[in-house]
Amino acid sequence: MPSIRTITPHQKDHITVRDVLAGPLRLRSLTDDVGMDNKITDKSMHRPQLALAGYTEFFTFYRVQLFGNTEFYYLNSLTHADRVKAFRNICMFNVPCIILANGHLLENELIDLAREHNVAVLATDYDTTKAIQQLSDFLDDQFAPQLNVHGSFVDVYGVGMLFSGASGIGKSEIALDLVERGHRLVADDIVVFTQKRESILMGTGTSLVKHFMEIRGLGVIDVRQMFGVRAIRFQKRLEIIVELEVFDPDREYNRTGLDESLTSLMGVEIPTIKLPIIPGKNITVISEVIALDYLLKTYGYHASKVMAERLHDEITKRRSSRASTDQRHITYFMGDDE
Amino acid sequence: MIESSVDVVNRAGLHTRPAAMLVKIASKFQSEIYLVRDGFSINAKSIIGVMTLAAEQGARLGLTVVGADEQEAANAIKDLFASGFDEP
């Protein structure tokens, strides 16, 4: 069985200016269709202040060029001839596109210059800082490493749980059971995880499969049609991996919950629980409990640690004095016999 | 059936880590293994059970083993207690 640890991530080697235009920046093109198919190969953007000033030694021209207030104030401080020259300095290079922030516009002569050099000029009303944030976020996402994982991904009480395990072990059935109990399916069978910033993996289904799933013996069903929109969601952060496997008496399973095992996916460590499947064991209920325990830990209550401390205190107490050894929770029963 | 006894020798007593070790080793055997303290008997394959004993250093526990591999099981449990769970 291929473990999810062994899958290699992939990532886009380029996007086009058209993709950026369709992104979340509310951009409009000032150069119509010019340069729409220009490739962007780098997830960083560039503020071309030095290049405008004429220093193009290390000009990262292949990046998206963002004009904020500084660039505009600089250009406006120049004479018309120098402004054209400065702008030409940039267009001469193979720049994929220029984004104008803060609602700034360029005079027609400069726009025409961009057209001549096949450079797309896009404008947004977002202020410079906001445009930088949105653009970085968008480019980060577009160029982020992605990982396809075979499993079922469900939002259980708001906790993103990935069920992995061999084919036919019942991942889809567990997901279906969870949906029936009011939880939400993100994706079944193929889950695509995208790394966000350093430590976050966001999971979603594929555009073709969406919320369809296969149930052995039944065929393909559409969870969204069947259970409605409340039963699905489009994306979720991965928080726990549940590895299902047929119970193996020779294997050791976690008994105390003190040792957490982690799976590293694209360098992000995800808490992982190995769950043996035994007849009569309700994996769905256990999954809900795993999610609730995760929430408790997130809010600072770690049941196994609390139990370990209680035990430690009790042993310490007994060592100093031979205290009562009545194990009952209460020391005597009240007289009402109830 | 084997009836014997074990002593807790390590300083920290039968706290969570030794309890987990004990349960892991006990679970490897088919026999039923019980530990008894002051008449209170627990299944040695149950982590909560073993923790309930809260056995401190110097405590003596009764050991009862019943089953096909009772001799091996009893020896393994005794060795584990004698080793102090790899603790001082």
pLDDT band, very low/low/confident/very high, at B66 (cuts 50, 70, 90): very high
> Is A315's CB within 8 Å of B20's CB?
no
Q: Does domain A146-298 have CATH number 3.40.50.300?
A: yes
Q: For A12-142, which CATH superfamily applies?
A: HprK N-terminal domain-like (3.40.1390.20)
Residues A38/A16, Cβ–Cβ less than 8 Å: yes
CA distance A314 to chain B (A): 6
Angle between helix axes A80-91 and A108-116 (nearest 10 degrees) is 30
Number of A–B residue contacts, CB under 8 Å: 47
pLDDT at B32: 93
pTM given for the model: 0.78
CA A118 to chain centre: 35
pLDDT at A1: 40
Within 8 A of B14 by CB-CB distance, chain A residues are 315
Domain A12-142 and domain A146-298, same fold? Reply is no
Cβ neighbours for A321, distance < 8 A, ≥ 6 positions apart: none
CA distance B47 to chain A (A): 7
CA distance A27 to A21: 6
The list of chain A residues with pLDDT below 50 reads: 1-2
Residues A29/A120, Cβ–Cβ less than 8 Å: yes
Find residue A152's DSSP bridge partners: A163, A188
pLDDT at A6: 58
pLDDT at A323: 59
Active site residue: A5, A80, A197, A255, which one? A255
Domains, chain B: 2-86 (3.30.1340.10)
What does the domain layout of chain A look like in residue ranges?
12-142, 146-298
ipTM above 0.90, yes or no: no
pLDDT at A325: 62
Residue-wise pLDDT for B6-51, tens only, equals: 999 999 999 989 999 999 999 999 999 999 988 888 999 988 889 8
Residues A92/A70, Cβ–Cβ less than 8 Å: no
pLDDT band, very low/low/confident/very high, at B75 (cuts 50, 70, 90): very high
